[in-house]
Copies of this chain bind each other. A is one copy, B any other.
């Protein structure tokens, strides 16, 4: 038998108490071989005309608004409809009746794209803290519009960066899907945070002691690797003050968050070589039962995709992470940005 190198550390199973799920940590996994030719990281094809670039606005689905509002060719950010939407704003809303048989409702909802820069090659990390803050405030503004639609229960804001994180368009953008249902993972998170609150009288995110998991801090936010991170080098950015909804953010906090977010992108890019990643805003449903307010706390998640997932994760919802969070946090903390 081939000599099994002794792993530096034994596997551990940790509970993600925010999502109420288990994660397996096993450094040995990172040393397994592969007999597939290396996966190429698909690169953007810069020859194709990009509808998100300034000058090509007519190739996009209708615009919802732009920033600045009165700009013409010199816009900074545009919020547009997704031309290939997962849900449709043109359908009637149907309340899902709880039937025993097969339940289907019309795919009513809103699916928008936020174009984060007029220039094709500019990434969020190239923008200034104030400009990243502007993108966050644009999301806030659109969420507040969607909130006025009674049948929308939850808005998911997400960014796919890099083909293996799902991106089909390379021009920097985020997406928002507004849904007439509360997604299962969101309900699980709310219930799990409520449970913690019932047991301790405290909000589970207010109560976090980052210690060796801390990466960096700003005036209003902390960034850390969560204790039971699903992905290697996963990062959470948590507001210091208790707040249930992302759209409660103000301009000052948005700029502060913009700076911390930019720092995290630069650290990831330097240490992990511009990895594909998802940026996710975890917030609360609109028509929140007020009893949830003291236990729910919004946060951002950055999920780098350094390896794929396989059947085990799909079947069980348990992830396997080869990097212990305290090790990832130390590495990211120590990356110096010149």
A68 within 8 A of B: no
Q: Is there an interface contact between A13 and B106, defined as CB atoms closer than 8 Å? A: yes
In angstroms, Cα B104 to Cα A40, docked, is 36
B59 A180 Cβ-Cβ under 8 A:
no
User: Is A10's CB under 8 angstroms from B169's CB?
Assistant: no
User: What residues of chain B lie closer than 8 Å to A318, measured between beta carbons?
Assistant: 179, 183-185
Tell me the complex Cα distance, A29–B82, Å: 10
Q: Using a CB-CB cutoff of 8 Å, which residues 281-320 of chain A contact chain B?
A: 282, 301, 303, 308-312, 314-318, 320
**A199 CB-CB contact with B under 8 Å:** yes
B166 engages A310 (CB within 8 Å): yes
Q: How far is the CA of A180 from the CA of B22 in the complex (A)?
A: 11
Q: How distant is the Cα of A45 from the Cα of B35 in the complex, in angstroms?
A: 5
Complex alpha-carbon distance, A36 and B183, angstroms: 29
Interface size on A, residues (CB 8 A): 102
Does A123 interact with chain B (Cβ within 8 Å)?
A: no
Question: Which A positions have Cβ atoms within 8 angstroms of B?
Answer: 1-2, 4, 10-15, 17, 20-22, 24-26, 28-29, 31-40, 42-45, 48, 50-51, 58-62, 83-88, 91, 96, 100, 102-109, 156, 158-160, 163-171, 175, 177, 179-181, 183-186, 188, 196, 199-200, 227-228, 278-280, 282, 301, 303, 308-312, 314-318, 320
Tell whether, in the assembled complex, residue A199 and residue B100 are in contact, meaning their CB atoms are under 8 Å apart.
Answer: yes
Do the beta carbons of B61 and A11 come within 8 Å of each other? Answer: no
| B107–A25 touching, CB < 8 Å | yes
| A107 and chain B: residue at smallest CB distance | B11
CB-CB under 8 A from A51, the residues of chain B are: 2
Question: Taking the nearest CB of chain B, how far is it from the CB of A3, in angstroms?
Answer: 10
Known: A11-B85, A13-B104, A61-B1. A36 touches B45 (CB 8 A): yes
**Sample (24) of A-B pairs whose CB atoms are under 8 Å apart:** A4-B61, A10-B106, A11-B109, A13-B106, A22-B181, A22-B183, A26-B84, A29-B85, A32-B168, A35-B169, A36-B44, A36-B168, A37-B43, A37-B45, A104-B227, A160-B310, A166-B311, A179-B318, A183-B317, A184-B316, A184-B318, A279-B311, A282-B315, A303-B311
In this complex, what residue of B is CB-closest to A57?
B1
The 5 closest A-B pairs by CB, nearest first: A166-B310, A11-B107, A158-B311, A278-B311, A183-B316
| A20 close to B184 (CB less than 8 A) | yes
Minimal beta-carbon separation of A210 from chain B (angstroms): 12
Instruction: Return the chain B residue nearest A84 by Cβ.
Output: B32
* From B59, B83, B103, B159, contact of A14 by CB (8 A): B103
